[in-house]
Structure 1
Amino acid sequence: YSPTGIQDDLDVKVMMAGSTLRKVKSRSWKKQRHFRLLEDGMTIWYKSRWAGKGHSTFSVTEVEAVREGHQSEVLLSIAEEFSADLCFTLVFHGRQGNLDLVAESPEEAQAWIQGVRKLIHRAQTMDEKERLDQWVWDWFQKADKNKDGKMNFKEVRKLLKMMNVEMNEEHALHLFTMADKSQSGSLEIEQFVHFYKILTQRDEVWKVFQDYSGDGEKLMLEELENFLRVEQQEGEQSAQHAQELIDSYEPSESAKKEGAMSLDGFQMYLCSQQGSIFKPEHRDLYQDMSQPLSHYFISSSHNTYLLENQLRGQSSLEAYIQALKRGCRCVEVDCWDGSDGEPVVYHGHTLTSKIVFKDVISTIKEYAFKASDFPVILSLENHCSVEQQTIMAEHLSQILGDMLLTTLLDGQVPQQLPSPQELKGKILLKAKKIGGFEDCLDETMTDEVSDEEDIANGDAESPTVENPPAECMNENDKISKSKLSRQLSDLVVYCKSVHFHGFDHARLHAKCYEMSSFSESKAKRLAKEAGTEFVQYNTRQLCRIYPSGLRTDSSNYNPQDMWNVGCQIVALNFQTAGLEMDLNDGLFRQNHCCGYVLKHDFMRDGNTQFTPEKPEERKDYRPLRLSIQVISGQQLPKVNQKEGSIVDPLVRVEIYGVPQDQAKEETSHINNNGFNPVWNETLNFIIHTPELALVRFVVEDYDKASRNDFIGQFTLPFTCIQAGYRHIHLLSKDGTAIPPASIFVNVSITELT
């Protein structure tokens, strides 16, 4: 095996020969580095000419996209100096910063741009088998220090350590001798692949295979059907599905011909997306998108302009791009007067850097609908003077054009909010508005003063509006007394920010297009004291929750408490990795990652009696038992890159949902084996409100002296779980894939009798 084919490509040849490119970090930091693609066709290596031994590498699989020309803040800042046809940007998955590069000629820039794109495409279109072969090949290359294409036993032992395997020396030598067919004392790549196959033969998969195979050699169509029906709980469609699986995953042509599946094919299927714990049909857009906006959970970001923390972090357009590409549908824009008459965006009264408002809007225009067609809400924190508000309104109208929704969809005063379907491709402004759509306005402008809690948190939605008399005045009177720009106010249609006066007031007076913001502490208090009323309120109106102003490190609160009462816009710091973002990614992983998830029917009914505090009082209350047998782990990544350190993994299953469902159970830890640990332990849970529950699988490296180290996790909605023998493909702290790391489990979901 060798990753050939692509190496004959002319662009890839240029990359393999190597080029001197300038790496640019700022206007003043531009240094030449030598870049080249290594023989494996996957790794890009670079170093400075002078720095003796030091070099860096990254894999093509870490690169998400290549942007041509001046398409990053850094390259825009040096646009005068280097023309666009020399410049390009490598954008990485997760939270890793961009790499901005300048080539010496337009031809060289094109070779790298096209070459990297082809390699990314190849990595994305590999099937499971090619991916595994590539992974084994990569390890072989890493370990073959003298590059002679062979490895002796000592080198192989070292390689096993690198691969996170602690192995009994005799056993390893025995396998090595079996693989060394030519008895030369060393393995070539093909023999090493064979050695790796024997090493990774999975007894636990073989046992399951044996249970259903008549002759122990293969699964006939009927036997596979039987497995799908009994173990995978697939019911009616198992016959047709069995044939599809053989067509897709069986590597042996002869087995395919007799309509059978070998152990290899069976293992491929179990390790594939279809064998994963996530229901394949829920990955697609499977929900009804024609209900009012208030019936959906909406993926939402707080302080979207920050890449780090909110005291001295950097404000950046990249942060908007990252959030929008992750499917975020509500972004925050914090606006202040700029010194040259152009409004700027940053976190007020802090040391965070500033970006220009119109650049933010241009960036949003470009990236708003790359991940999803459904509407984006711009949550405006407006601290600007009337003059600069008017400039903001001009930029919004000019830059966004037809994308910006500025009129009611059907010209009628709405009785309920429009749907994501009707608003496809539209951007909605959430801000203060002068008056409403009704003719005579009975609302005093004093409503608009934010409460002390919000002001103390620095999240008040200023500007304040002076206090006009409460009778129905003509509009011009009102505006002259307010500090809102008429032009900006006119752009607000379905998301008018208002102050919250309690659930009773909202039930009697609120309009569906009015929405309030709550700090996390206020929302938590309301959820506890008036859960049912909060759920009812959220069937009609949108509400936005934001983190407490005390979270200066941009940490996050647990969004689950807010989702439990149906809050739609639960804003999190997307720039901060951890449990809370795992839950957000988990909830929005379904429905094609479009950023909208339909709430369950008992949370859309305006007269619902549901409260998260007492789930058993719901009329269709049906608790379920979730039983997870944690069988084994595969190729867990090393946590510690120290020579010779090997992980001691354990698996914890965490349930997030209504208060009664919150639970955690974990397996024991396995000493010194991150390669193929076997637990065979069963964890049991009772889920009272399955429709709201999220299940998080966490793998950690056990440490008796200090905190366990994080190895990987995967989070998904309980309603998206497939029962049966399943693999959980682990993600890094950043939420990016770390193949081939996985956990093998057997899941059963039953009704409580």
Structure 2
Amino acid sequence: MESPHQTRVQDNDNLRIMTAGAVLKKVKSRMWKRQRHYKLLEDCKTVAYKSSWARSSYSTFSVCDVEAVREGHQSEVLLSMADELPEERCFTLVFRGRRGNLDLVAESAEEARAWIQGMRTLIANIENMDDSEKYDQWVSDWFMKADKNKDGKMNFKEVQTLLKMMNLDMNEEHAHFLFTMADKSHTGSLDGEEFVHFYKMLTERREVLDLFKEYSSDGQTLSQCDLEEFLREEQMEGESSQALALELIDRYEPSVIAKTHQCMSIDGFLMYLTSPAGSIFNPGCQSLYQDMSQPLSHYFISSSHNTYLLEDQLRGPSSVEAYIQALKRGCRCVEVDCWDGSNGEPVVYHGYTLTSKILFKDVISTIASYAFRVSSYPVILSIENHCSIEQQRVMAGHLREILGDTLLRTTVDGKIPSALPSPGELRGKILVKGKKIGGLEESLAGVEGDTGEVSDEDEAAEMEKEGSSAENTTSEKKKSKQSLCKELSDLVVYCKSVHFSSFEHSRGAAKPYEMSSFSESKARKLTKETGAEFVQHNTRQLTRVYPSGMRTDSSNYCPQDMWNVGCQIVALNFQTAGLEMDLNDGLFCQNDRCGYVLKPEILRDPNSGFDPEMPQSCPGYHPVTLSILVISGQQLPKTKKKEGSIGDPLVRVEIYGVSMDQAKLETAHVENNGFNPCWNETLNFTLHCPELALVRFVVEDHDKTSKNDFIGQYTLPFTCMQPGYRHVHLLSKDGTSIPPSSLYVHVKITELSSLTPMDLQHEK
């Protein structure tokens, strides 16, 4: 079956070279280098490779899984071998999710350039496909996967096998009837185009067709007036429905004739519903829509803990790649644990453990390269300093030389601040968080001195108390005072680490540029016992929260409790997928994914009196009801690899927010249909503090005898939800998209104040 982009091979020299194949050297270390034969398959979507000693068996990976191509010595492995591997022959394929990168060395610079440019062309082709093309390509990929003898045809038995592979347990009689209709050539088998036609008939969206007919005046199309009514009544678009109707017809209607008559066919309607405009996530929240001129303390800031680690906290590897991945995900606060290294060069690793070490200067170089590729807003370097005075001076030198003008060295206006500057004022700047000798007042006055002593009651000491440094002997434990060199101290401007005494002390004595760090257990204790005071504290001061030192497996705590009291820098182990990172990704998927989200007014106003344990006592209290009709699922991925097994999916909707709002409800499971299941179940929630709520959709494969298997999830802020008929585009465990997998739902949001007494009684 021909790929939609296959014809481009003949017109592209790079793709011709790739399809011809090449021997490339796969490199993992100085000791591990292997020759592999790589070639691009004719579908222009798959790269096959095999060992030089393998006779015929190729392994493959999809071009769709490749996120980027890095040229030259940009990976940690290739950089460490720069002396023996010519830069012009080296390149790195970066995969989505948690799969490791692939470092390759070509036999010539010309060959490397062909693969680099060719891969970039293929990636761009995929990114430029519209939704319809992507869907057809997805079906085509399945056809090619099942066409074992590569003759471009499949009989009914082969089609049955393929549909089971695709997670669909079909009605055989109905499927055979559609198969016969699709067999235009009357050969008893389907070619690629016929299979796509058959597949579309088999998976017709009856629930969408019924909705279409409900609003269609003639049962065939939606006129402009019909579509306006649908947008107004169901999608709650209000006064914008007229202009939006014309825009949607122009953008999504595939029929030129229908466009001319300003109406929409069922195909156009389905394309709209499955598009970003029909997504549950409001497109208006995807752009930079928030005010970025308020003090830093008024924002949630995407933050990473032990950023240098790829795995666990005891033996796992440290890597600059971990910084790259975090920064690419919009992280704006990264942690750098610094220790004395050999040859006078500071190193970064998890102290007193067997985690590997990387050079401090390599970490800073990586941050310099990737800090502002995703977001132009400030990056905070959270420095945990364990170095001697001599190596602290080396650190300060590297920071100044490598970061250059991006390093913030003084206040934005050269004056002592009465409040923190805004993210907008700090665009393109890197801030150092750490200990400081004295305050900004002394720094700006140019007070002389080479070194000074600072209190060492910081987060490192807290972590020792929690047991993270169990291998640390008594003689190695940190003293109550630490020597700090002035060069490094002077680089700390707006993020001076100070020990937290009490909220009372903070109110009376804290400077705007002072901030404290709390272990998760201490922060949780404060949220429960003095939540309102914590909220007020966080309107003025920055607060950092980090995982317990006992989490040696790099697991995470739930960040929601900390966000509820306005903690800005809630640091998580970005390397560990799961619920906690889903929540982090969900919160920060808005506002252009810039890593800064403006906190709700109740968390910015020091006089709000907001207490997350009693939201109803706040003057701005406005509860809502959220009703989600879970209608159907589309093309859910299989979780069980066993041949012939079919999924039994269920959907769970989870609410994360203040304690009163925490809730989970789920549908029944649908047996033997992981492909296009229908639930038609309504799940109802009451949100007492909607501005802090995150909504998480989880799809699982029901299992009677063991834990359900994860299929997909999607998390978003309640404030970014669109009402009406919407699609929820599912993500994998790693947070990467898994098209075309989705849920089809109807969302209804009602202000409780507008409900009748009977409705209120029903809510109870």
Q: TM-score normalised to the size of structure 2?
A: 0.94
Tell me, yes or no, if structure 1 residue 449 matches structure 2 residue 457.
yes
Counterpart for residue 731 of structure 1: 731
Give, as a single letter, the amino acid of the residue that structure 2 aligns with 1:408: T
Distance 2:57 2:483 in 1: 58
> Structure 1 residue 459: deviation in Å?
7.4
Counterpart for residue 105 of structure 2: 102
1:689-715 deviation per Cα after TM superposition (whole angstroms, max 9, x unaligned): 001000000000000100000000000
Counterpart for residue 8 of structure 2: 6
Contact 2:437–2:454 under 8 Å retained in 1: no
SS at match of 2:197: helix
Distance 2:483 2:500 in 1: 20
* Correspondences of 1:296-445 after superposition (within 5 Å): 296-438=299-441
1:593-623 deviation per Cα after TM superposition (whole angstroms, max 9, x unaligned): 0000000111111222000000100101110
* Correspondences of 1:45-124 after superposition (within 5 Å): 45-51=48-54, 54-124=57-127
- Per mean C-alpha deviation after superposition, the further-off stretch among 649-658 and 32-41 is 32-41
Distance 1:181 1:466 in 2: 83
> Structure 1 residue 146: deviation in Å?
1.2
SS at match of 2:229: helix
- Per mean C-alpha deviation after superposition, the further-off stretch among 567-576 and 129-138 is 129-138
Distance 1:448 1:68 in 2: 43
SS at match of 1:274: helix
Counterpart for residue 260 of structure 2: 257
Give, as a single letter, the amino acid of the residue that structure 1 aligns with 2:150: K
Tell me, yes or no, if structure 1 residue 266 matches structure 2 residue 274.
no
Counterpart for residue 233 of structure 1: 236
Contact 1:463–1:484 under 8 Å retained in 2: no
- In angstroms, what is the RMSD of aligned CA positions? 1.6
Counterpart for residue 660 of structure 1: 660
Q: 1:100 to 1:454 in 2, by over 3 A?
A: closer
Counterpart for residue 26 of structure 1: 29
Distance 1:80 1:599 in 2: 49
Counterpart for residue 474 of structure 1: none
Contact 2:337–2:383 under 8 Å retained in 1: yes
Distance 2:674 2:621 in 1: 41
1:498-531 deviation per Cα after TM superposition (whole angstroms, max 9, x unaligned): 0000100000100010000000000000000000
SS at match of 1:556: coil
Q: 1:464 to 1:351 in 2, by over 3 A?
A: closer
> Structure 1 residue 58: deviation in Å?
1.3
Give, as a single letter, the amino acid of the residue that structure 1 aligns with 2:464: I
Give, as a single letter, the amino acid of the residue that structure 2 aligns with 1:618: C
Give, as a single letter, the amino acid of the residue that structure 1 aligns with 2:355: T
> Structure 1 residue 558: deviation in Å?
0.2
Residue 200 of structure 2: which of 181, 197, 200 is its match? Answer: 197
1:523-544 deviation per Cα after TM superposition (whole angstroms, max 9, x unaligned): 0000000000000000000010
* Correspondences of 1:174-193 after superposition (within 5 Å): 174-193=177-196
Give, as a single letter, the amino acid of the residue that structure 1 aligns with 2:418: Q
Counterpart for residue 526 of structure 1: 526
* Correspondences of 1:709-748 after superposition (within 5 Å): 709-748=709-748
Distance 1:65 1:628 in 2: 37
Q: TM-score normalised to the size of structure 1?
A: 0.96
Distance 2:341 2:49 in 1: 40
Counterpart for residue 169 of structure 2: 166
Contact 2:305–2:573 under 8 Å retained in 1: yes
Counterpart for residue 637 of structure 2: 637
Distance 1:52 1:207 in 2: 55
1:378-415 deviation per Cα after TM superposition (whole angstroms, max 9, x unaligned): 00000111111111011111111111001111121111
Distance 2:159 2:9 in 1: 27
Distance 1:667 1:117 in 2: 43
Counterpart for residue 485 of structure 2: 485
Contact 1:466–1:483 under 8 Å retained in 2: no
SS at match of 1:500: coil
Give, as a single letter, the amino acid of the residue that structure 2 aligns with 1:646: I
> Structure 1 residue 6: deviation in Å?
2.2
Tell me, yes or no, if structure 1 residue 622 matches structure 2 residue 622.
yes
Contact 1:18–1:36 under 8 Å retained in 2: yes
Give, as a single letter, the amino acid of the residue that structure 1 aligns with 2:8: I
1:226-257 deviation per Cα after TM superposition (whole angstroms, max 9, x unaligned): 10111000001111111111111111111111
Q: 1:599 to 1:738 in 2, by over 3 A?
A: same
Counterpart for residue 562 of structure 1: 562
Q: 1:302 to 1:502 in 2, by over 3 A?
A: same
> Structure 1 residue 57: deviation in Å?
1.4
SS at match of 2:643: coil
Counterpart for residue 153 of structure 2: 150
> Structure 1 residue 55: deviation in Å?
3.2
SS at match of 2:342: coil
Distance 2:741 2:298 in 1: 36
Counting aligned pairs with the same residue, the percent is 68
Contact 1:655–1:664 under 8 Å retained in 2: yes
SS at match of 2:177: helix
> Structure 1 residue 466: deviation in Å?
6.4
Q: Which runs of 5+ in 2 are unaligned?
A: 470-475, 756-764
Counterpart for residue 647 of structure 1: 647
Contact 1:63–1:120 under 8 Å retained in 2: yes
Q: 1:349 to 1:54 in 2, by over 3 A?
A: farther
1:329-376 deviation per Cα after TM superposition (whole angstroms, max 9, x unaligned): 000000000022100000001010000000100000000000100000
Distance 2:597 2:477 in 1: 32
